[in-house]
Structure 1
Amino acid sequence: MSELSNPVANAAVPGVNWNRKAKFQKRLFILLATVPMFAGYIVFTLYPNLLSVYYSLLNWDGIKEPVFVGLDNFGNLLKDEFVWRALRHNLILMGTVTPAVILISLILAYLIANKGYRFSSLFKVIFFFPNILSTVAISLLWAFVYDGSFGLLNAGLRLFGVDIGNYYWLGETGTAIWAIIPPSVWGAAGFYFVIFVNAMSTIPKSLYEAAILEGASHRIRLFNITVPLIMPIIRIAVLFLMLGVFKGFENILILTNGGPSGSTEVLGLYMFNIAFGSGIHNYGYASAIGMLLFIILVAAKLTIDRFTANRDSEF
């Protein structure tokens, strides 16, 4: 029998007891640190999601006795023209807001990281400022910009000789959905700008110096050097932006509440109004819309993984 496997011998070796105590303390710390997180995830995320699956099979207003209807809610969903109209608006916002935020954030981050501006730290604060504001504050600010009588947009157009009268940008079906895009871009670009600036700071300056000696322009340096090297970060940013645009509806709720005539309604807002809107309380049907939204988000994530390289760049 070896000395370490002998309890009597182990008692005489102080290092053995210390190692056992250290391992126990490490495992106890990991347990205490992870169990509350897992418990919170189960209670506030996993359980509500599983409950939503169950609710989607019911006809229930939250008060009366629920009635099991099986897949009827999903059948009604496929025939609901308002669902497909809202989905179309989601796709419009996702196809415009996401690339606009990524492109603007990349260009601003490149300029700050490589042009060596004197007040670059001040610019970082200015660009990030919209993210300090709440969604309510941003929405109310842009509602004032778009106001027909006193709005800054109409006043600015008049300065350039374009007088369109008291045109309410959020009150016309032809412009309302497009008027949602600038507030969404303005509110998100600063956050991804900071992420891209930090990612670009890890790129060796020697790569840019070599490109300058070769006569490469800023456009070539941005899209041929910077973008490929931070592509894993851009990929994650695109994923979070797409999911955020698809799920979010708070700014639309404040700016237009889906109007006029449903021209700005998105899936999340439609689901919210079905569940909590005045005169309508159908948690079962709203949960079915939530399941559709979940499937779309998973499909979007898998599509990004499929068509975007997921590899680390080395330099």
Structure 2
Amino acid sequence: MPIPVNNAGQPRRSWQQKAKFQKRLFILLATTPAFGGYILFTLYPNLLSVYYSLLNWNGIKEPVFVGLENFKNMFQDKYVWRALWHNVLYMATIPPLVIFISLILAYVLGNKGYRLTSIYKVLFFFPNVLSTVAISLLWAFVYDGTFGLLNAGLRMIGIDVGNFYWLGERETALWATIPPAVWGGVGFYFVIFLNAMSTIPKSLYESAILEGASHTTRLFRITLPLMMPIIRVSAIFLMLGVFKGFENILILTNGGPSGSTDVIGLYMFNAAFGTGIHNYGYASAIGMMLFVLLVVVKLIIDRFTANQDAEY
């Protein structure tokens, strides 16, 4: 069969080739804004941070190339390691508490069949509608020594702590910053877990009930194994968020008193924009270390948690 040709004697492009070209052109046009934004606002700043980490620069004067001097000073800086230790404490407490409370709330509401479940969803999710600033200011009022709700509640049950300011003492400040983070995160993961539980076939629970399985057995033998991929992803987001986040600490204590609540993100922020070091190069070096730590945490989670799809 002869190949169709145009007036110039060249083979005509088939409609399949045109369709393939149009598909590739559409994909290119559709993904260019996303890739452009990623390159401009993520990749380029990160690569620029690598360059800045080799400089001694305060953002105003002429930068001076110092090589690895910033990294050397960082590893010798005891305040960096103190801030990292606080991050480790947060990582060991906040993600487990958020996941545990969210799972229990989701399991209770999901299996009891309350008529007001949709209202509970809204109530528990409400803290996520608020900004970090609003949540932090709310909890700062709760911990206030004179008018705080915590001290008033303790006095109601017969425990008089006077005008004790929970965020102003080294012994309590660090631990007092944990409840705001947990309270602000439970609602989001509660909704995720509740929706995930609704996808588990009811027949599995019905069979378990007929065999006499208790709520605890159903939770650990049916619900948790089938939800493990979602729990794993949630743990990754929570742990990485704990390492990166510092906004609530900035508002609640700004790292005080005497650095007892300082975290690595806040220390890096103050190194670049605060009244102390004010060295973009040193802050960038800390950012590079934070990036490596986040990658290591992600690899550790992948190594010790099973990455398997749920099977019914």
| 1:312 corresponds to | 309
Q: Which moved more, 1:274-283 or 1:155-164?
A: 274-283
Does the residue aligned with 1:32 lie in a helix, a strand or coil? helix
| 2:10 corresponds to | none
Distance 1:114 1:75, change over 3 A: same
Residue 270 of structure 1 deviates from its aligned partner by 0.2
Q: Deviations over 1:274-307 (max 9, x none)?
A: 1000253100110111111111110000000000
Does the residue aligned with 1:215 lie in a helix, a strand or coil? coil
| 1:272 corresponds to | 269
| 1:57 corresponds to | 54
> d(CA) in 2 for partners of 1:93 and 1:167?
23
Unaligned 5+ segments in structure 1 are: 10-15
Residue 7 of structure 1 deviates from its aligned partner by 2.3
Does the residue aligned with 1:230 lie in a helix, a strand or coil? helix
Letter aligned with residue 92 of structure 1: L
Q: Which moved more, 1:177-186 or 1:29-38?
A: 29-38
Residue 153 of structure 1 deviates from its aligned partner by 0.3
Alignment of 1:181-200 (within 5 A): 181-200=178-197
Residue 26 of structure 1 deviates from its aligned partner by 2.0
| 1:120 corresponds to | 117
Q: Deviations over 1:25-81 (max 9, x none)?
A: 322221111011111111110111011111111111111111111111111111101
| 1:99 corresponds to | 96
> d(CA) in 1 for partners of 2:225 and 2:146?
47
TM-score (norm 2): 0.95
TM-score (norm 1): 0.94
| 2:235 corresponds to | 238
> d(CA) in 2 for partners of 1:181 and 1:30?
45
Q: Which moved more, 1:27-36 or 1:265-274?
A: 27-36
Does the residue aligned with 1:144 lie in a helix, a strand or coil? helix
> d(CA) in 2 for partners of 1:208 and 1:251?
41
> d(CA) in 1 for partners of 2:197 and 2:19?
40
Residue 175 of structure 1 deviates from its aligned partner by 0.4
| 2:249 corresponds to | 252
1:209 to 206, 209, 212: 206
Does the residue aligned with 2:306 lie in a helix, a strand or coil? coil
Q: Check the 8 A contact 2:270/2:276 in 1, yes or no.
A: no
Residue 212 of structure 1 deviates from its aligned partner by 1.2
Q: Deviations over 1:186-228 (max 9, x none)?
A: 0011111111112111110011111111222212211221111
What percentage of aligned pairs have identical amino acids? 75
Residue 110 of structure 1 deviates from its aligned partner by 1.1
Does the residue aligned with 1:166 lie in a helix, a strand or coil? coil
| 1:173 corresponds to | 170
> d(CA) in 1 for partners of 2:158 and 2:255?
32
Residue 119 of structure 1 deviates from its aligned partner by 0.3
Letter aligned with residue 252 of structure 2: L
| 1:12 corresponds to | none
Residue 20 of structure 1 deviates from its aligned partner by 4.0
> d(CA) in 2 for partners of 1:249 and 1:164?
29
Tell me the C-alpha RMSD between the 2 structures.
Answer: 1.4
> d(CA) in 2 for partners of 1:314 and 1:17?
45
> d(CA) in 2 for partners of 1:279 and 1:237?
36
Unaligned 5+ segments in structure 2 are: 7-12
| 2:141 corresponds to | 144
Q: Which moved more, 1:197-206 or 1:125-134?
A: 197-206
| 1:288 corresponds to | 285
Letter aligned with residue 109 of structure 1: A
Does the residue aligned with 2:170 lie in a helix, a strand or coil? coil
Q: Check the 8 A contact 2:136/2:252 in 1, yes or no.
A: yes
Does the residue aligned with 2:200 lie in a helix, a strand or coil? coil
> d(CA) in 2 for partners of 1:163 and 1:217?
42
Does residue 153 of structure 2 align to residue 129 of structure 1? Answer: no
